[in-house]
């Protein structure tokens, strides 16, 4: 049930300039943990996996047509998880399609003969597979107005399809040559695909004027965007946020063992879990519902032509934590 109060844009501690960067790093590490880990029996999958399934369901086969640009990435958040899970699924799909084509085009007798000649393989060498298949992986790019270079560099070192922009990027005024500014651990170039913006646990941070500016820039420079939040403006979300404190107290020693600074600011002086809970409560009060986002879109001015033509919007919610934790999403896709 949505709280029958207007959206309140209270201040979050983690947003403040006076909040020490090293503590902000610890808070963001906690948020990343909440995003990507599954805590049974209260979760059947991690919130990040829920988002991946949502993108796959909404975009379908066209997911391969986009380059995903994550704005307000923080220390990386769930984006490396998105990249890994989506590309894993695309790779499996590509392999299955390849075998289906091979089976359809090769007579059964020939397949048996080739199998015997190749010691039980499918009768096709790795080079043959490469010649008959294309790379269907999609690329993800990390950006932020305060770049977290060390964390991003480490995350990108694990995948040739995860990249970052080493310069500050303002979501309300992204440069038109954004994709030419990427830094990658891979020497390969990014295929020319349509830009798709991601705002993961980020859009509620924007005031209404800034949110309008971000949406305006998004409509002008992107072919799609998705707003994902792990909370709603309801009592269930507030209850779930309050449980984050005990959760972080219970698991931080395991997940952050060896990071003695993190453990100090969790158990000796519990700044990290306290800020996560307090900011989480404010995040609930800041979160917008579908109608409020549509109203912001209606108030966008200065976009060439009638931007509404060709755009379609969908929204929804899905439970990530029993009994009340829900993720919400609002996705816009431009046809063509």
Q: Which of 103, 105, 97 is nearest to 122 (CA)?
A: 103
pLDDT of residue 3: 64
pLDDT of residue 118: 38
pLDDT of residue 2: 59
pLDDT of residue 101: 78
- Those residues of the chain that have pLDDT short of 70 are 1-4, 105-135, 185-188, 302-307
pLDDT of residue 177: 83
Angle at 10 between CA 8 and CA 11, to 5 degrees: 155
Residue count (the chain): 336
CA 142 – CA 168 distance, rounded (Å): 11
CA 122 – CA 239 distance, rounded (Å): 54
Is the entire prediction scored with pTM above 0.85? yes
Q: Which DSSP string corresponds to 78-142?
A: THHHHHHHHHHHHHHHHHHHHHHHHHHHS-HHHHHHHHHHTTTS-S--HHHHHHT-------EEE
């Amino acid at each position: 049930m949505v709280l029958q109060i207007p959206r309140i844009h209270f201040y979050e501690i983690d947003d403040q300039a006076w909040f020490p960067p090293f503590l902000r790093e610890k808070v963001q590490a906690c948020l990343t943990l909440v995003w990507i880990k599954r805590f049974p029996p209260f979760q059947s999958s991690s919130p990040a996996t829920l988002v991946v399934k949502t993108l796959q369901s909404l975009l379908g086969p066209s997911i391969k047509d986009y380059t995903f640009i994550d704005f307000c990435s923080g220390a990386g958040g769930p984006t490396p998880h998105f990249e890994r899970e989506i590309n894993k699924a695309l790779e499996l799909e590509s392999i299955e399609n390849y075998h289906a084509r091979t089976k359809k085009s090769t007579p059964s007798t020939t397949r048996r003969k080739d199998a015997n000649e190749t010691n039980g393989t499918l009768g096709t060498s790795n080079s043959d597979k490469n010649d008959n298949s294309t790379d269907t992986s999609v690329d993800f790019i990390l950006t932020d107005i305060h770049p977290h270079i060390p964390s991003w560099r480490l995350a990108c070192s694990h995948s040739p399809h995860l990249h970052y922009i080493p310069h500050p990027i303002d979501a309300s005024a992204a440069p038109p040559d954004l994709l030419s500014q990427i830094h990658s651990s891979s020497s390969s170039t990014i295929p020319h695909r349509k830009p798709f913006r991601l705002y993961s646990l980020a859009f509620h941070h924007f005031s209404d004027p800034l949110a309008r500016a971000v949406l305006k820039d998004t409509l002008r420079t992107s072919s799609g965007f998705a707003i994902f939040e792990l909370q709603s403006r309801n009592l269930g979300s507030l209850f779930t946020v309050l449980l984050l404190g005990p959760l972080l107290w219970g698991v931080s020693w395991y997940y952050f063992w060896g990071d003695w600074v993190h453990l100090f600011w969790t158990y000796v002086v519990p700044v990290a879990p306290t800020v996560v809970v307090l900011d989480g409560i404010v995040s609930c009060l800041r979160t917008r519902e579908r109608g409020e986002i549509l109203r912001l879109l209606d108030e966008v001015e200065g976009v060439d032509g009638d931007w509404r033509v060709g755009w379609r919007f969908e929204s929804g919610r899905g439970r990530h934590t029993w009994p009340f934790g829900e993720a919400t999403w609002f996705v816009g896709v431009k046809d063509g």
